[in-house]
A = this chain, B = another copy of it.
Amino acid sequence: MKKASLKDIAESLGVSKALVSLVLNGKGDERGINKQTQEKVRQKARELNYIPNQYARGLRIGRTNTIGVIVPDISNVFYGTLCKAIEQEAYDKGYNLIISNTYEDVQKEKKLISDLINRNIDGLILASSFDSKNEIQGLTDTNFPLVLVDRVFDDFDVDSVSVSNIDGAKKAIEFLYSKGVKRPVCFSMSPVYVSSISERIKGYMDALKDPNKAKLVQIPHDDIEGGVANALDELQNEDYDGVFCVNNNIAKALIRELSMRGESLDQVRVISFDDIEVFDIVNPKISAIAQPIHEIGKTAVNLLIDRFNNEEGHKPQQVVLDTVLVER
């Protein structure tokens, strides 16, 4: 039950491997190969259930039609959905994905990047946890096709797709004010240096009516539950009356903690960055700043493919998409 190769088809038909290869790659007409011969080849390929060996092909062509994807955590709904969007677009364009998680561990991220390159991916889509572009400068120096998503770096001439986080955060704070909130707190998350988080903090600061009343709480990414509980304790006696959560994980922990304490969500106005299903399920519902996740994924894939097909001419672009306030 050995797999059929080009040679098997060629021999059984009495033609050359070259001819078979040409026909099967759709270059039969272009090379003026006899229609009947072409049909015979295709027929036989079907008959032998021929499956081209992509590794021989990749070796020869120098490309593998595989894109690497590295995200912090695919079981986080935001990244799960992003990966799904990337997968759909990649699948449509004939590319496969290799997906890996870093869990915000920069050592693992370094290892994953080199592992993936070892696997000869054609390009990489990266939601990085690095604190500076230095860590990936090496990649771009060697001209390796890279697209940053979600988290980007300043002054870095590499393809990227992100959202206007500052603007989104502003919209969130303005929404709180419009609902009568007097003093909004920001529940932020470590590592605070990733661009998406730091920009959202900046948006919060910018939108405050009275910057002196800014209140920023740092929630550690590896103990969100505990961090939120501590924050609530700490704020017990302060006159905060609204919370802006910089991401959905914090908002989820907050909802849970409030309900455990018997405090209704009605008492505290909450809004979150990232719109997830839960916000529409809990009672009362939670408003959110939604990211165009599908478009982020699609754009990232297409930037990469453009780079592949256009090695010389491709100019790195920093795409910034808008967020939407989902009012509930």
> How many chain copies?
2
| A264 CB, min distance to chain B CBs, angstroms | 9
Asked whether, in the complex, the Cβ of B1 is within 8 Å of the Cβ of A51, the reply is no
Q: Which of A62-83 contact B (CB under 8 A)?
A: 64-66, 73-75, 77, 80-81, 83
A278 at the interface (CB under 8 A from B): yes
User: Bound complex: CA of A11 vs CA of B101, how far in Å?
Assistant: 38
A109–chain B nearest beta-carbon distance, Å: 13
Residues in B neighbouring A101, C-beta threshold 8 A: 84, 87-88
Closest 9 CB pairs of A and B: A55-B58, A259-B283, A80-B80, A55-B55, A55-B59, A256-B281, A75-B84, A75-B81, A75-B80
Instruction: Verify B87–A118 contact, CB threshold 8 A.
Output: no
CA distance A325 to B12 in the complex (A): 61
Residues in A lying within 8 Å of B, measured CB to CB: 1, 51-56, 58-59, 64-66, 73-75, 77, 80-81, 83-84, 87-88, 91, 96-101, 114-120, 142-143, 252, 255-256, 259, 277-278, 280-283
In the bound complex, how far is the Cα of B117 from the Cα of A96, in angstroms? 12
A87 to B115, CA, bound (A): 14
Q: Whose C-beta in chain B lies nearest to the C-beta of A94?
A: B115
Please name all residues of chain B whose beta carbon is closer than 8 Å to the beta carbon of A84 when the two chains form the complex: 73-75, 101
Q: Which of B98, B117, B255, B280 contacts A281 (CB 8 A)?
A: B255
Chain B residues, Cβ within 8 Å of A66? 98, 119
A81→B74 CA distance, assembly (Å): 8
User: In the complex, which of the residues B55, B99, B255 contacts A87, with contact meaning CB atoms closer than 8 Å?
Assistant: B99
B142 touches A1 (CB 8 A): yes
Q: How far is the CA of A77 from the CA of B278 in the complex (A)?
A: 12
State A59–B196 Cα separation when bound (angstroms): 42
Taken together as a complex, chains A and B put the C-alpha atoms of A77 and B281 apart, in Å, by 15
User: Smallest CB–CB gap between A95 and chain B, Å?
Assistant: 10
Q: With the chains together, A263 CA to B58 CA distance in Å?
A: 59
**C-alpha spacing A72/B143, complex, angstroms:** 36
Kindly state the separation between the CA atoms of A47 and B278 in the bound complex, as whole angstroms.
Answer: 51
What are 15 A-B contacts defined by CB distance under 8 Å?
A52-B118, A53-B59, A54-B119, A55-B120, A74-B83, A75-B83, A77-B77, A87-B99, A91-B100, A97-B98, A99-B99, A256-B280, A259-B283, A277-B278, A282-B282
